[in-house]
Chains A and B, each alone.
Chain A
Amino acid sequence: MNDRKPLGQQRTMETAAPNRNKKGNPKPAKLSRDVQARLGQQLRAMYDEVVNQGVPDRFSDLLNRINGGNKDKQ
C-alpha cells in the first residue's frame, strides 16, 4: 500500500536492487522528454566513443589488401 516513497528513500539500501522490474504491472511508464533526452545522450556518448576511434589498421589493411589483389597487383 505504501509504495510511494520519498525520493531519498528510494535510494536507500533495501530498495536499491538494480532491477526494479515491474512484472505484472501493465502500465507502461510514459517517459518524460527530459528522461528520453538524457538516455539518448548517454547512448550517443557510448556509441561515439567507439566511432571516434576511427578505422583501426586492421580494417584499412584488409581493404587495401583486397583492393591490391583485385586491381593493381604490385
Chain B
Amino acid sequence: MDDSVRKAVLAAVPSLRAFAISLCGNVDRADDLVQETLLRALANIDSFQPGTNMSAWLFTILRNHFRSEYRKRRREVEDGEGHYAETLKSQPDQIGQVEFREFREALAQLPADQREALVLVGASGFSYEEAAHICGCAVGTIKSRVNRARTRLAELMGIESAEEFGPDQQTRAVLASGE
C-alpha cells in the first residue's frame, strides 16, 4: 500500500468513527463497522481514483456496509446511550449537560435517512453534493432530509424558539418531570 494512501486512510479514521457512532448508536459496534470498512476499502483500493476525495470514498463504503449488514441488527442492541455516555466524558462548557443529553436522545430517534444526512452535512463537513453521492440519492433529497431532521429534532426537544434553549434550570425541570 502506498504510504500516502495509508496516511489518507488513517486521517479519515476519526471522522469515520464519529459517523459510525451516529449510525450505530454504540461505540463498540461502530468500531467494528470502521474496521470492516477499512478492510473492505483496502481490499478494493484499486477502485479508488487517485485525486478524488478519499474521505468521501471511505464514508460511502462505511455507509453501504452499514446499510447492508448492520441496520437489521440495530434493534437488538439499543443500549447506545450508555455507550455514548462512556465515550463522551466531557462536553463543551457552553452547552448544558441536560440539553446535550436531550440532544443525543433526540438524534437517536430520527429516521436513519435523516440522521445520516444531517450528520454528513452538519458535522462531517460534506457538501450537499458529496452527501448525496455518499448516500446514493439526489441532492434535493439530501436537502429535504436535512431540513426534516432539523425540524424533527427541534420538535423532539420541544424547541420552537431559541429562547427555549433556556438556562440549565429550565431544561432540568423538563427532564426531571419526564422521569
CB neighbours (8 Å) of B92 from chain A are 45
> B151 touches which one: A18, A31, A41 (CB < 8 A)?
A31
CA distance A62 to B95 in the complex (A): 36
CB neighbours (8 Å) of B38 from chain A are 59, 62-63
CB–CB A63/B9 < 8 A = yes
Also in contact, A43 and B122, with CB within 8 A (given A29-B155, A58-B31): yes
CB–CB A18/B158 < 8 A = yes
Also in contact, A39 and B150, with CB within 8 A (given A45-B100, A53-B14, A59-B35): yes
A-B contact count (CB 8 A): 137
Which of B70-78, B128-136, B160-168 lies on the face that meets chain A? B160-168
> B150 touches which one: A19, A36, A44 (CB < 8 A)?
A36
**Does any Cβ of A come within 8 Å of B178's Cβ?**
yes
**Does any Cβ of B come within 8 Å of A66's Cβ?**
yes
CB neighbours (8 Å) of B100 from chain A are 42, 45-46
CB–CB B173/A11 < 8 A = yes
21 contacts across the A-B interface (CB closer than 8 A):
A7-B164, A11-B173, A16-B174, A17-B178, A18-B156, A20-B158, A28-B151, A29-B154, A29-B155, A31-B150, A34-B161, A39-B103, A39-B154, A46-B123, A50-B17, A52-B14, A55-B14, A59-B35, A62-B38, A62-B39, A66-B1
- Contacts A38-B165, A47-B124, A58-B35 supplied; 7 other A-B pairs, CB < 8 Å: A18-B158, A32-B161, A51-B17, A55-B13, A62-B35, A62-B39, A63-B9
Residues of B at the A interface (CB closer than 8 Å) are: 1, 3, 6, 9-10, 13-15, 17-18, 21-22, 31, 34-35, 38-39, 42, 87-88, 90-92, 94-95, 99-100, 102-105, 107, 109, 118-119, 122-124, 147-148, 150-151, 153-156, 158-165, 170, 173-174, 177-178
